[in-house]
Chain A
Amino acid sequence: MKYFNSFIAVCKKEWIELKRYWFNTVVGLCMFLLMFMALFSGAKSIGQNNFSLMDSLEGFLIGYALWFLAMGAFADTAHAIIDESRKGTLEQLYMTDVPFTWLLISKNMISTIIYSIIFVVIILIQTKVTGITLNLDFISVFITLFIGLFSLYGIGLILAGLGLIFKKIQNLLGVTQFILVGIMIVSPTSLPFVRLLPFVEGREMIMDIMRNGYSLWDFSIYNWLFLLANSIFYLVVGIYGYKIAEMQVLKRGMLGQY
């Protein structure tokens, strides 16, 4: 019950902030879509009637939307922790009856839902504008996302830990965004080890669903296990990394000091 109540409290707070600052979200979304349109029309004019490029344009469309989602997912964790540290509320979150990690996981779950909704909006607008048709099986996409995104939360946790210690996390976040673009674009078929990177398996599966019309049952158990293993691995590494950072932070008294 304790855990449920704290989960609800975190939900409500996210909702309140979303409601109060919806305008920022909308503006961000518009910018994002405008940039997409510019890039897309550029790519299209280069390769008119080129079938293989049209094929990769679909990939580009999905990859671009996923990039937005992924950026939100992992930057959110890191930003949130560092922001709370600066405001001084992180210390309070460390003093609650439920473990801090539970609050974080709650927040991640809610973020996943919010970002998934935004993802759907982006995809819908993109397909309308470009005329590209995709398999819009959002249930399958959402389930894959929900599992896959936890790998990125793991990375977010490591960044958050580093941020608490080194403070200047903004630059690091900038760099990781570009790495993320790579993850969303590089195909694992050409470089097999890429599949081991966080979220790559998830991205592949979502591509298969949206572009190739797969549904959940078309994936092998092997696919699912790999996706799950990838997420669990990075989440565990992330939590572990954060714990190491946290030990230092508690020693040096940097939890609420910026």
Chain B
Amino acid sequence: MKEILQISNLEKVYSNGSFVKKAVDNISFSVNTGEIFGLLGPNGAGKTSIIKCICGLLDYEGGDVLVNGYSMKSKRRKGLKYISAVLEGNRNIYWRMTVDENLDFFSGINGMSRSSIKDRKEYLLQQFQLQEQRNQVVNKLSRGMKQKVAIAISLITNKDIVLLDEPTLGLDVAMSHEMRKLLRSVAKEEGKTILLSTHDMNVVEETCDRLVIINEGQIIAKDTVSNLKTVFNNDIYQISYIGVINNSLMSGMEKIVVKLEIKEGEDHSKMIIHLHEATELFRIFEMIKEAPIKLISIDRVTKNLEGIFLDLLKEAGTHEVF
């Protein structure tokens, strides 16, 4: 599989007088041709900055971005041949022009003649179910419709990579779902490489093949979506019990578990243990049997990406998530 997009040790520092902010801090990842890759992170994590560095709208201070091998620093124009983008808030469209006029304009300024895009335009209008709206001024369309138009425009030039910054932001639930489906089908049918950013883990979970999780400009996790889920799911158990855990049990368990949280309650207490592997649970049982506590229940905790995401952020030391 070819790595069409390579980001290595990317650094972006905003400075203005005494104001200095490192928004992107040594970020590296690669995106393969044809996959949907997610940039997941809370607000202010640096997602937009990364995307703008990739599409040549932002100079970076360190590292490099290679688009199909071309550095966006020294070969910007060459790299741009492979990239189109929809930045935050579908602002790539002229609200005072119709859908059709927008599609014509953006293909035109990219050097394509009207006749050469005719078929593609029809295909996209149909794919995005925008035929009825094609002669309407964009301003009159709903937020979701506008977002669809924005994405259709990014596809009209038929470039290999599509960057989408928060493509589901501000959409209602139904529209958000439609958008996810649409993105999947675009990637599949057209073989496009999609890099999308979002703070919504459900979006990543449903659409992406792989992801990086970013917080305060740094990568805190990098994996496939399915791996991340299994790794974090396999081995979390919640044990409810009555009694007090003594020191010997505590120190015994601490030798085995990855992480141990205790929540003491009125009638019973709970502990949440993270294990390296499920078989370690048997050793925990052994220890509990010796100790003066009474077991009530053991539940396996399954987490969706959202839970994993929140855990990772907690580890990274963020207090304010949204």
Judging by beta carbons under 8 Å apart, are B109 and A16 in contact? Answer: no
Judging by beta carbons under 8 Å apart, are B57 and A12 in contact? Answer: no
Bits for B70-105, please: 1 = Cβ < 8 Å to A, else 0.
Answer: 000000010011011101010111111100010011
What chain A residues lie within 8 Å of B14 (beta carbons)? Answer: 252-253
In the assembled complex, B135 has its CB within 8 A of some CB on chain A:
no
Judging by beta carbons under 8 Å apart, are A91 and B87 in contact? Answer: yes
Interface centre among B84, B93, B108 (most CB of A within 10 A): B108
Which of A17, A91, A96, A253 contacts B109 (CB under 8 A)? A96
Judging by beta carbons under 8 Å apart, are A87 and B91 in contact? Answer: yes
In the assembled complex, A251 has its CB within 8 A of some CB on chain B:
yes
Judging by beta carbons under 8 Å apart, are B96 and A6 in contact? Answer: no
Cα A8 to Cα B107 with chains together (Å): 11
Cα A99 to Cα B56 with chains together (Å): 13
In the assembled complex, B317 has its CB within 8 A of some CB on chain A:
no
In the assembled complex, B247 has its CB within 8 A of some CB on chain A:
no
Judging by beta carbons under 8 Å apart, are A255 and B109 in contact? Answer: no
What chain A residues lie within 8 Å of B177 (beta carbons)? Answer: none
Judging by beta carbons under 8 Å apart, are B109 and A93 in contact? Answer: yes
Which of B59, B84, B93, B101 contacts A89 (CB under 8 A)? B93
Cα A89 to Cα B109 with chains together (Å): 12
Interface centre among A2, A9, A10, A17 (most CB of B within 10 A): A9
Interface centre among B89, B101, B108, B109 (most CB of A within 10 A): B109
What chain A residues lie within 8 Å of B49 (beta carbons)? Answer: 253
Bits for A70-101, please: 1 = Cβ < 8 Å to B, else 0.
Answer: 00000000000000000111011111111100
B interface residues, tally (CB under 8 Å): 35
Judging by beta carbons under 8 Å apart, are A6 and B109 in contact? Answer: yes
Judging by beta carbons under 8 Å apart, are B16 and A252 in contact? Answer: yes
What chain B residues lie within 8 Å of A2 (beta carbons)? Answer: 111
Which of B57, B59, B94, B106 contacts A94 (CB under 8 A)? B57
Judging by beta carbons under 8 Å apart, are A9 and B104 in contact? Answer: yes
Cα A254 to Cα B4 with chains together (Å): 27
Cα A251 to Cα B73 with chains together (Å): 12
B56 shortest CB reach to chain A, Å: 7
Q: Nearest CB to that of B48 among chain A residues?
A: A253
Chain A contact residues: helix, strand, loop or mixed: helix
Interface pairs (25), CB distance under 8 Å: A5-B108, A5-B113, A6-B110, A9-B104, A9-B107, A9-B109, A10-B108, A12-B104, A12-B108, A13-B105, A20-B96, A87-B91, A88-B89, A91-B57, A91-B91, A91-B92, A95-B83, A97-B81, A98-B111, A250-B58, A251-B58, A253-B49, A253-B52, A255-B57, A256-B87
A104 shortest CB reach to chain B, Å: 11
In the assembled complex, A1 has its CB within 8 A of some CB on chain B:
yes
In the assembled complex, B321 has its CB within 8 A of some CB on chain A:
no
In the assembled complex, B152 has its CB within 8 A of some CB on chain A:
no
Judging by beta carbons under 8 Å apart, are A8 and B108 in contact? Answer: yes
A interface residues, tally (CB under 8 Å): 33
Cα A253 to Cα B96 with chains together (Å): 25
A172 shortest CB reach to chain B, Å: 20
What chain B residues lie within 8 Å of A1 (beta carbons)? Answer: 111, 113
Judging by beta carbons under 8 Å apart, are A92 and B106 in contact? Answer: yes
Q: Nearest CB to that of A21 among chain B residues?
A: B96
A87-B105 in contact given A6-B111, A95-B83, A253-B52 (Cβ < 8 Å): no
Known A6-B111, A91-B87, A95-B85; 7 more pairs at CB < 8 Å: A6-B109, A9-B105, A89-B92, A95-B57, A250-B59, A252-B16, A256-B91
What chain B residues lie within 8 Å of A120 (beta carbons)? Answer: none
Cα A10 to Cα B104 with chains together (Å): 10
B123 shortest CB reach to chain A, Å: 20
| B15-72 at interface with A (beta carbon < 8 Å) | 16, 49, 52, 55-59
Q: Nearest CB to that of A17 among chain B residues?
A: B96
What chain A residues lie within 8 Å of B16 (beta carbons)? Answer: 252
In the assembled complex, B244 has its CB within 8 A of some CB on chain A:
no
In the assembled complex, B112 has its CB within 8 A of some CB on chain A:
yes
Cα A93 to Cα B84 with chains together (Å): 11
B303 shortest CB reach to chain A, Å: 35
Q: Nearest CB to that of B111 among chain A residues?
A: A2
A2 shortest CB reach to chain B, Å: 3
Which of B59, B101, B110, B112 contacts A16 (CB under 8 A)? B101
